[in-house]
Amino acid sequence: MSWWIYAIGFLAQAFFSARILVQWILSERAKQVVSPAAYWVCSLAGSYLLFVYGWLRDDFAIILGQSVSYYIYLWNLNAKGVWRRMPSLLRLLLLFTPLVIGGGIARNAAAFFSTFLANDEVPLWLLLFGSAGQLIFSLRFVYQWFCSVRRHESVLPAGFWILSLLGSGMIVLYGVVRHDPVLILGQSVGFVAYARNLFIGKKFHDAKE
């Protein structure tokens, strides 16, 4: 595979790492958990690039993983007032590119699931454990969206960080068993920020009382 395809994947991960650092730093400054627009911009950029990366690699797993949260990122950007300030052409591109890519990759979904379930290198219990961790980690954004809709603003509630810690911890354990340094390193960095956000949120809540 060409180096530039890998570069797209690494750039996507860089955006995801940047969103964690930006949100953490701004929360430390505000002494409360904040949901900055930059967090959602970085999330959208990283997710879009991963859609492209998954398409170039013909990897249904990557496309499926991003499908859960991509449009929640757009919703949060709209709640922050960023979406409506974007050029119309860019908004159309962001809206429809994942749908086009996802439709193309979905044609190979049956082959993907067959290979996924027939992997002799990963026992079924480990496969289910790792998949559960990924599912929890992805569904945290569904929970975030639900809480934000109820409060009529973009927020990152305590439950979001709890799900982040749980999903991240499961993925790290999966990575340890699989001897996968990419998973271990990638999730360990965020693990500290998730725990810190819980602490900041609790401290702010206690101060209000």
184 neighbors 176 (Cβ within 8 angstroms)? yes
* Spatial distance between the Cα atoms of 55 and 115, rounded to a whole number of angstroms: 18
Global pTM value: 0.85
Contacts of 130 (CB under 8 A, 6+ apart): 122, 170, 171, 174, 178
For residue 73, is pLDDT > 90?
yes
* Spatial distance between the Cα atoms of 84 and 105, rounded to a whole number of angstroms: 30
Express each pLDDT in 16-62 by its tens digit: 889 999 999 999 999 999 999 999 999 999 989 988 887 887 666 66
Beta carbons within 10 angstroms of residue 9's beta carbon: 19
